[in-house]
Chain A
Amino acid sequence: MKKRVVSVLLVVMFTASIFAFAGCSTSGGSADVVKLGFIGPMTGDAAIYGSSAEEGAQLAVAEINAAGGIDGKNIELVAYDSKADQTEAINAYNRLRDQDGVVAVIGGTLSGETLAMKDIMVQDNMPVLSPTATAVEVTQAAPNVFRACFLDDYQGQAAANFAATTLGAKTAALLIGTGNPYSEGVSEAFKAAFTAKGGTIAGSESYGTADKDFSAQLTKIKEMNPDVVFVPDYVQTVGPILQKAKEMGITAKFVGADGWDGVQEEYADAAQGNYFTNHYAADSPSETVQNFITAYKKEYDKVPNSFAALGYDAVYAMVEAITAAGSTDSADIITALKATDHAGVTGTLKFDEEGNPKDKEVTIIKIDGGQLKFDSTVVNK
């Protein structure tokens, strides 16, 4: 009997807590604050991407508020963790819309979570500007979804052109992260563009998302002896790969994509003399870029990566659109977003009819003495 009482009590407690949870829902959208939503992974394996983009976005919000906000109204960035999980992302988005009453969303950070939310976002006609989701489908058949980054294939093509033309490479080896759509997407484009330029792919090796041991793959690549090795992945994977490659005495040039941003910090020696494609150059004389880097370093005590830069730009572009629209009405904001012409850290942001950045230039960066040096720019036509 006592047991049953305890169980009943537990049940009552939980039901009560659920109702309490429903009850505490606040109606969003108070008059003097404009709320923007942010969605990205902040826990789990992909935590670094979401938190970097959020830091960039929060920095932009702080700057805009210090400069008077939107027509005197302060902006608030409501950021939720997606755990890189689709279900979590959908719940987070629903919550942003229904509980917090956001007028627009910066996110998602990863392609997968953004694709999961896309259908509902389109139904709601919510103004969405993803800083970093690179999968092609993100903006397709979604007039309200925009993105600030260039697409995977655009970047892969630029890297291949650079490797074949500027570096004069004849053979290339690929090292691809399977289970990582970004790495796979960029590699595919690189492969196609590199062979189109008359180069040969000496071979491609791959590793799983959680792999940390690359010695088997690199031993094989060393045997292939290619001119360049293309490794499109993020710093925390690329760093150890470069380090291991150096230890093994691989002499080929390594080329990568925007995920490399930040590699000069901890892996300066290993990355010395290699190249990657990026959204901006840290040594650019542009005031916007320098201001961003200084402010970010001051705020977070570390060097920004491309996720942070894109998060920062996305907020600025979105705020510009809201200001231009003169209202927080979804349709007005979307119309204003279409006409975006924002000179940001990652170059000039304009959108084509699909909502992708138009004619964005790809910057080639060389790692030299622990610094990222501007090398050249490529615009794919």
Chain B
Amino acid sequence: MDHIKKKAYLINTIAVVALYLVFFVLIQTKTMNNYFVGIAIMTCIMIIMAMSLNIVAGFLGEMALGHAGFMAIGAYASASFSMALIDSGLPLPQLVILILAMIVGGIVAGIFGFLIGTPTLRLRGDYLGIVTIGFSEIIRIFFINFGPTGGAAGLKGITRLVNFHNVYWVTIIVAFLIFTLGRSKQGRAIISIREDEIAAEAAGIPTTQYKVLAFSLAAFFAGVGGALYAHYQSFLEPSKFGFMFSIEMFVIVVLGGLGSITGSIISAIVLTVLPEMLRSFAEYRLLVYSLVLIIMMIFRPQGIFGRTEFSLTAFIESLIQRKNVKKSIGGGEAS
């Protein structure tokens, strides 16, 4: 057992590093120009957002349609923090400022997730959905009216600290953390609530506590995503964090498969890259996008991966096995 686990870690680490090296070479040799790097950065941020939403939507199985609100809190909090930190003139390297800003953004968003989650998680299904929309709209309206962060005109002059290299590793770390959460005691408790809340409660799981935990963790990682977004865009506008943005994230999670982290990753890549591919279609772009969405849902309603995870080790093993089978068949014929 331990041996298999070790092997899995090793293979995945190699894959992650190899992928990074591929990108590194492509960027260094300018094969991948800034346009593609920009899309790659945005894709990584959307992956973080989708994975974090998956904690609530997938693991816990609740409809949360206000994720953009937590992202906004994280973005504004971290941006205000980093601006103050840079103004104070402390000679800190950029990476340290970014890491501190992410932590601040995550914690502030997490606190709000806790405060909002505690009273509202008594609600279920569509009612919870509409309440989360409500909170996220209230957050957006707050930022429109809040002078210190620039109000409707937006917060300007945030230092651009994010590049592909740091955003890639943050994404990997977040993915690792959320994946581990799904396999941990807490994660299993959260998933058991999704499967059957009453049975979970009967089994002695403090359901309310775990629901709030899932909600706060999702908000925390959304805050981290928001911090990255703020320090990539260098400019924040409240209108960005509207209702449609939350819906967009939710679409990514459902399309990838509720509860599947790898599904969220693949789906975030597809749905961020797809509109870019369709750019030359001009006004037909969103028409095609929505058609793709409808068709995908009709033919694969459980999402790309359903609830299963894509496993690299299993994939490689199945490849090897197939080769062996082929070999043995081939051998059989020869003899």
A338 at interface, CB cutoff 8 A: no
Q: Given the complex, which residues of B lie within 8 Å of A99, measured CB to CB?
A: 33, 35
Chain B proximity mask over A164-188: 1 for CB below 8 Å, otherwise 0: 0000000000000011110011000
Contact of B285 among A8, A11, A81 (CB under 8 A): A81
A7 at interface, CB cutoff 8 A: yes
CB contact under 8 A between A97 and B233, given known A21-B273, A21-B277: no
| Contact, CB under 8 Å: A98 / B33 | yes
Q: Interface residue tally of chain A, by bracket? A: 35 or more
Segment at the B interface, from A110-118, A212-220, A295-303: A110-118
Interchain CA distance A98-B27 in the complex, whole Å: 13
A146 at interface, CB cutoff 8 A: no
Q: Given the complex, which residues of A lie within 8 Å of B283, measured CB to CB?
A: 42-43, 81
Segment at the B interface, from A85-93, A223-231, A246-254: A85-93
| Contact, CB under 8 Å: B144 / A179 | yes
Q: Given the complex, which residues of B lie within 8 Å of A8, measured CB to CB?
A: 310, 315
Q: Given the complex, which residues of A lie within 8 Å of B275, measured CB to CB?
A: 88
Q: Which residues 31-45 of A sit at the B interface, judged by CB distance below 8 A?
A: 42-43
B269 at interface, CB cutoff 8 A: yes
Closest to B257 in A: A7
Closest to A42 in B: B283
Closest to A183 in B: B152
B135 at interface, CB cutoff 8 A: no
B13 at interface, CB cutoff 8 A: no
B195 at interface, CB cutoff 8 A: no
Closest to B145 in A: A178
Chain A proximity mask over B136-162: 1 for CB below 8 Å, otherwise 0: 000001001100000111101000100
| Contact, CB under 8 Å: B285 / A112 | no
| Contact, CB under 8 Å: B285 / A43 | yes
Interchain CA distance A94-B282 in the complex, whole Å: 16
A66 at interface, CB cutoff 8 A: no
Measured CB to CB, the closest approach of chain B to A49, in angstroms, equals: 14
| Contact, CB under 8 Å: B35 / A119 | no
Interchain CA distance A118-B233 in the complex, whole Å: 10
Q: Given the complex, which residues of B lie within 8 Å of A135, measured CB to CB?
A: 153
Point out which of B42, B237, B240, B275 has the most chain A C-beta atoms below 10 A from its C-beta.
Answer: B237
Point out which of B144, B145, B238 has the most chain A C-beta atoms below 10 A from its C-beta.
Answer: B144
A376 at interface, CB cutoff 8 A: no
| Contact, CB under 8 Å: B239 / A112 | yes
Interchain CA distance A90-B275 in the complex, whole Å: 14
Q: Which residues 321-342 of A sit at the B interface, judged by CB distance below 8 A?
A: none
Contact of B304 among A7, A17, A90, A112 (CB under 8 A): A7
| Contact, CB under 8 Å: B277 / A116 | no
Q: Given the complex, which residues of A lie within 8 Å of B38, measured CB to CB?
A: 90-91, 94
Interchain CA distance A137-B234 in the complex, whole Å: 13
Q: Given the complex, which residues of B lie within 8 Å of A91, measured CB to CB?
A: 35, 38-39, 42, 276
How many B residues face the partner with a CB closer than 8 A?
43
| Contact, CB under 8 Å: B35 / A98 | yes
B24 at interface, CB cutoff 8 A: no
| Contact, CB under 8 Å: A86 / B233 | yes
Interchain CA distance A87-B241 in the complex, whole Å: 12
Q: Given the complex, which residues of A lie within 8 Å of B239, measured CB to CB?
A: 84, 112, 179, 209
Q: Which residues 30-62 of B sit at the A interface, judged by CB distance below 8 A?
A: 32-36, 38-39, 42
A67 at interface, CB cutoff 8 A: no
Contact of B152 among A80, A84, A137, A180 (CB under 8 A): A180
| Contact, CB under 8 Å: A7 / B305 | yes
| Contact, CB under 8 Å: A11 / B266 | yes
Q: Given the complex, which residues of A lie within 8 Å of B151, measured CB to CB?
A: 184
Interchain CA distance A4-B263 in the complex, whole Å: 13
Interchain CA distance A7-B235 in the complex, whole Å: 38
Q: Given the complex, which residues of B lie within 8 Å of A208, measured CB to CB?
A: 141
Interchain CA distance A328-B306 in the complex, whole Å: 52
Interchain CA distance A178-B143 in the complex, whole Å: 11
Q: Given the complex, which residues of B lie within 8 Å of A115, measured CB to CB?
A: 154, 156, 235
Measured CB to CB, the closest approach of chain B to A328, in angstroms, equals: 19
Closest to A80 in B: B279
Chain A proximity mask over B288-329: 1 for CB below 8 Å, otherwise 0: 000000000000000011101010000100100000000000
Measured CB to CB, the closest approach of chain A to B47, in angstroms, equals: 14
Task: Give 18 new A-B contacts, CB below 8 A, not counting A22-B32, A184-B151.
Answer: A3-B306, A14-B266, A21-B277, A43-B286, A81-B279, A81-B283, A88-B275, A90-B233, A91-B35, A94-B38, A95-B279, A97-B35, A99-B33, A112-B153, A119-B235, A181-B152, A181-B154, A185-B153
Interface residues of A (CB under 8 A from B): 3-4, 7-8, 10-11, 14, 17-18, 21-22, 42-43, 79-81, 84-88, 90-92, 94-95, 97-99, 111-112, 115-116, 118-120, 135, 137, 178-181, 184-185, 208-209
Shortest Cβ-Cβ A-B pairs, 3 listed: A94-B35, A98-B35, A98-B33
Interface residues of B (CB under 8 A from A): 32-36, 38-39, 42, 141, 144-145, 151-154, 156, 160, 233-235, 237-240, 266, 269-270, 273, 275-277, 279, 282-283, 285-286, 304-306, 308, 310, 315, 318
> What are 6 A-to-B residue pairs whose CB atoms are below 8 Å?
A11-B310, A43-B286, A80-B279, A94-B33, A98-B33, A116-B237
